[in-house]
Structure 1
Amino acid sequence: MTPWHLGRLCAFDLETTGTDVESDRIVTAAAIGLGGGADTEPSSWLAEPGVEIPTGAAAVHGITTEHARAKGRPAVEVVDEVAAALASYLGTGVPVVGHNVAYDFTLLDRECRRHQLPTLLDRFVDDVLWPVLDTRVLDTHALPYRKRPSETQGARQLVTLAQVYGLPWVEDDAHGCEYDAMQAARIAYRIGWLAHTDREEWPEQIRTARRPRFHAFAGLDIEALHHLQIRLAAEQAEGLEAHFRKTDPNAVVDRSWPLRPWVDDTAEGAIA
């Protein structure tokens, strides 16, 4: 069996108007087929999201409201094409890889519903969204004891993972969806390589980390690895919720992965 990190992958990322999956919109998207001995197949989109892009979001990804209106395509077309592209990979068993994919998949799901398009789940006969690789879930299990590099940089941010796994990071390119998608794919490859390599051959900063658990991912086919991530994501969410409840007794962290379920709590059954 070919190790999972050596097969074909689809690197995926969204840049959006904000961080609320229920109300924010897609600005840019990337779905890049790579690996597995085949040519790289990049696809990217720029949408006119139909709402103002907050200055804070524009400062992160560099797309202003004016630029999106001048150069972007109608959101309904972009959303449909992104969902169709991902479905074409998933439907043939090619894993979609990203960082914190539950955010991206859930926001895409809500965008499909907003525009009355088939969701990713609608595009599958068995109504199951798989296979998926999430570098945040994999890394959190493999190296669970990492501290924040600084007060402004989180332990599980994409830039932190790039640093941990020895990848170059170009800040001027970061937060572009193509760059972030490719970085996630490279990180997934590094995690897979570590999982299938003797510890004695690991780089020193990985070998000397506290209780690394990369070998939990060794020898699995992509279906088994997907289902393992479902369990790991739930366990990680439970631990994060317990941490938050030290200061907020009512804190709740969703345990769903890789897609948060749709809850119709509006009178009309649609997102405003």
Structure 2
Amino acid sequence: MELKLNRPICFFDLETTGIDVARDRIVEISILKVFPNGNKESKTWLVNPTIPIPPHSTAVHGITDEKVANEPVFKELASHVYNMIKDSDLAGFNSDRFDIPLLAEELLRAEVDFDMKNRVAVDVQTIFHKKEERTLSAAYRFYCNESLDNAHSAEADTNATYEILKAQLDRYEDLENDIKSLSEFTKRKRSVDFAGFIALNEEEQEIFTFGKHKGALVEEVLEKEPGYFGWIQNADFPLYTKKVLTGIKLRKLNTKL
């Protein structure tokens, strides 16, 4: 089943130096852009992460320091990546918890103001886990009856994810062929920032999800304990979390004017 699209959607996958969203870096990114008319555009870049690639990460994706030594750093590629995804919804495998947050960090680090305000995301892994509880290779074999050669190659994983989503729509009649509906189905929690440090409560109010203020309204904490904002801004939190928190603080200040 082909996707019903009202706007383009970009399937993407990252290979990285590790799994710490705030500290690790991209070493390979592949994007498959699918347009409403069925046309496709794809691009894959190797990236010099500017930090050493740990052996355990190389063991997963096969990318070494030597392989990326002469490749561009992400800041050189940021505008190309952003131009490809700026008008699109996003999709990936485990993308809500990892790929989108890490991509956001890299874009913000490169001074590209990325957010998800006018787009939705579909995490194909969530559909898979809710329906079958498997891995990407098993999902490809289960849904597409194919072996995933070159697993942990960003390009192979990206194309497999696209094919899996189409096969999932064929298999599950209760899945609506609509990107916003698929996005709602794949959401795990109502996070405001990608990392989940700030979420929405039942009243649609931002709350902290960690530390001594867990469950407290963000606006109330910032008003009663203004130093907490400075602590987060100077601590090792993701850049996108800091961006969201700054937006909440500015919104509160504007309501007082």
Mark yes or no: TM-score above 0.5.
Answer: yes
| Deviations, residues 241-260 of structure 1 (Å, cap 9, x unaligned) | xxxxxxxxxxxxxx638933
Matched, 1:116 2:111: yes
| Deviations, residues 128-174 of structure 1 (Å, cap 9, x unaligned) | 2533221111112223xx4xxxxxxxx3x211211221332244x11
* CA RMSD in angstroms, aligned pairs only: 2.9
What are structure 1's unaligned runs of at least 5 residues?
Answer: 91-95, 122-126, 147-154, 197-214, 235-254
Matched, 1:99 2:93: yes
Question: Cα distance 1:88–1:36, how it changes in 2: closer, same or farther (>3 A)?
Answer: closer
Write the distance in 2 (CA, Å) between the matches of 1:22 and 1:129: 24
Please point out which of 169, 184, 199 is paired with 1:227.
184
Write the distance in 1 (CA, Å) between the matches of 2:164 and 2:123: 10
Q: Give, as a single letter, the amino acid of the residue that structure 2 aligns with 1:221.
A: D
Query: Once the 2 structures are TM-superposed, how far is the Cα of residue 105 of structure 1 from its aligned partner?
Result: 0.5
Q: Give, as a single letter, the amino acid of the residue that structure 1 aligns with 2:161.
A: A
Query: Once the 2 structures are TM-superposed, how far is the Cα of residue 5 of structure 1 from its aligned partner?
Result: 2.8
Contact 1:15 1:176 in 2 (8 A): yes
Write the distance in 2 (CA, Å) between the matches of 1:55 and 1:88: 36
What is residue 139 of structure 1 aligned with on the other side?
128
Question: Cα distance 1:35–1:79, how it changes in 2: closer, same or farther (>3 A)?
Answer: closer
Write the distance in 1 (CA, Å) between the matches of 2:192 and 2:109: 21
TM-score, with structure 1 as normaliser? 0.65
| Deviations, residues 189-228 of structure 1 (Å, cap 9, x unaligned) | 11111123xxxxxxxxxxxxxxxxxx2x13x632233223
Q: SS of the residue aligned with 2:24?
A: coil
Q: Give, as a single letter, the amino acid of the residue that structure 2 aligns with 1:187.
A: I
Write the distance in 2 (CA, Å) between the matches of 1:4 and 1:168: 18
Aligned length: 204
Question: Cα distance 1:271–1:192, how it changes in 2: closer, same or farther (>3 A)?
Answer: closer
What is residue 57 of structure 1 aligned with on the other side?
57
Query: Once the 2 structures are TM-superposed, how far is the Cα of residue 37 of structure 1 from its aligned partner?
Result: 4.7
Moved over 6 A (4+): 268-272
Matched, 1:256 2:191: yes
Identity of aligned residues (%): 24
| Deviations, residues 100-122 of structure 1 (Å, cap 9, x unaligned) | 01200000111123233222x1x
Contact 1:114 1:271 in 2 (8 A): no
Q: SS of the residue aligned with 1:48?
A: coil
Contact 2:191 2:197 in 1 (8 A): no
What is residue 5 of structure 1 aligned with on the other side?
3
Write the distance in 1 (CA, Å) between the matches of 2:110 and 2:197: 15
What are structure 2's unaligned runs of at least 5 residues?
Answer: 199-230, 240-257
Contact 1:22 1:110 in 2 (8 A): yes
With a CA cutoff of 8 Å and minimum separation of 6, indicate the structure with the bigger relative contact order: 1
TM-score, with structure 2 as normaliser? 0.69
